[in-house]
A and B are shown apart, each in its own frame.
Chain A
Amino acid sequence: MSLSKQHEMHKRRFSRNMGLGLVLAGFVALVFGLTIAKVSNEDFAVPTDEAAE
Chain B
Amino acid sequence: MSDASLNSTPAQTQNPDAGFGDFFALLKPRVMTLVVFTAFVGLMSAPVSVHPIVGFAAILFIAIGGGASGALNMWWEADIDRIMKRTRKRPIPAGKVTEGEAFGFGTALAGISVVMLWLATNWVAAAILAFTIFFYVVIYTMWLKRWTPQNIVIGGAAGAFPPMIGWAAATGGISVESVLMFTLIFMWTPPHFWALALFMKSDYDEAGVPMLTVTHGRKSTRLHILVYTALLAPVAIGAAFTSIGGPIYLVVAVIYNAIFLKGAFDIWRRDEDMAEADAYAVEKRVFKHSLYYLFALFMAILAQASLGAYGLGGW
Give min CB distance, B48 to chain A, whole Å: 12
Q: CA A12 – CA B56 in complex, angstroms?
A: 30
Q: CA A20 – CA B79 in complex, angstroms?
A: 28
Instruction: State which size class the interface on B falls in.
Output: 10 to 19
The interface residues of chain A, by DSSP majority, are classed as helix
User: Contacts of B5 on A, CB cut-off 8 Å?
Assistant: 9
Which residue of chain A lies nearest to B1 when distances are taken between CB atoms in the complex?
A9
B6 touches A7 (CB 8 A): yes
A16 touches B17 (CB 8 A): yes
Residue of A19, A20, A34, A41 contacting most chain B CB atoms (<10 Å): A34
For A, the interface residue count at a CB cutoff of 8 angstroms equals 17
User: Contacts of B1 on A, CB cut-off 8 Å?
Assistant: 9
User: Contacts of A28 on B, CB cut-off 8 Å?
Assistant: none
A16 touches B54 (CB 8 A): no
B23 touches A16 (CB 8 A): yes
B57 at the interface (CB under 8 A from A): yes
| Contact A37-B54, Cβ < 8 Å, known A1-B6, A7-B6, A9-B6 | yes
Which residue of chain A lies nearest to B60 when distances are taken between CB atoms in the complex?
A30
Q: CA A24 – CA B21 in complex, angstroms?
A: 16
B16 touches A34 (CB 8 A): no
B19 touches A12 (CB 8 A): yes
In the complex, which residues 19-41 of chain A have their Cβ closer than 8 Å to any Cβ of chain B? 19-20, 30, 33-34, 36-38, 41
A9 touches B20 (CB 8 A): no
Q: Which of A12, A34, A37, A41 contacts B17 (CB 8 A)?
A: A12
Q: Which of A13, A19, A37 contacts B51 (CB 8 A)?
A: A37
| Contact A34-B54, Cβ < 8 Å, known A7-B6, A16-B23 | yes
Return 21 A-B CB contacts under 8 Å, by A number: A1-B6, A9-B16, A12-B16, A12-B19, A15-B19, A15-B20, A15-B21, A16-B17, A16-B18, A16-B19, A19-B23, A30-B53, A30-B56, A33-B57, A34-B53, A34-B54, A34-B57, A37-B51, A37-B53, A38-B54, A41-B51
